[in-house]
Amino acid sequence: MPAPDQTDIQARVRTLLEKRFGEAARALPADADLSGALPGFDSLAALEYVTAVEGEFGIEVDFVGDDVRYWFSTLERTAAYVRECAEDQAA
């Protein structure tokens, strides 16, 4: 099964953000820093975001080996991380 493409991943991640942050996430540029662009995106919200992404895509984030603060700081980076994980699982 091929890994989902970047556009599909971004759309699915945006939907996760919209459930929590509503309109602010809907209008979010893909390269915007989530902590600055989404009101209330604090450390707890960031952890919930990572957990939601794990559940949505069936991946497990390595909090020790991966730079989670980097990869989950923007929609674009999150999608790239998910795609990389999906490709690794497919290999």
The residues spanned by each domain of the chain are 6-90
Q: For residue 2, is pLDDT > 70?
A: no
Tell me the pLDDT of the chain averaged across its residues: 93
pLDDT score recorded for residue 3: 66
This prediction has a pTM of 0.92
Top-level class of domain 6-90: mainly alpha
Q: Give mean pLDDT, residues 67-72.
A: 96
Distance CA(50)–CA(48), nearest Å, equals 6
Q: What is the pLDDT of residue 15?
A: 96
Instruction: Count Cβ neighbours within 10 Å for each residue of 44-81 and write b for 16 or more, e otherwise.
Output: ebbeebbebbeeebebebeeeeeebeebbbbbbbbbeb
What is the pLDDT at residue 6?
85
pLDDT number for residue 5 = 86
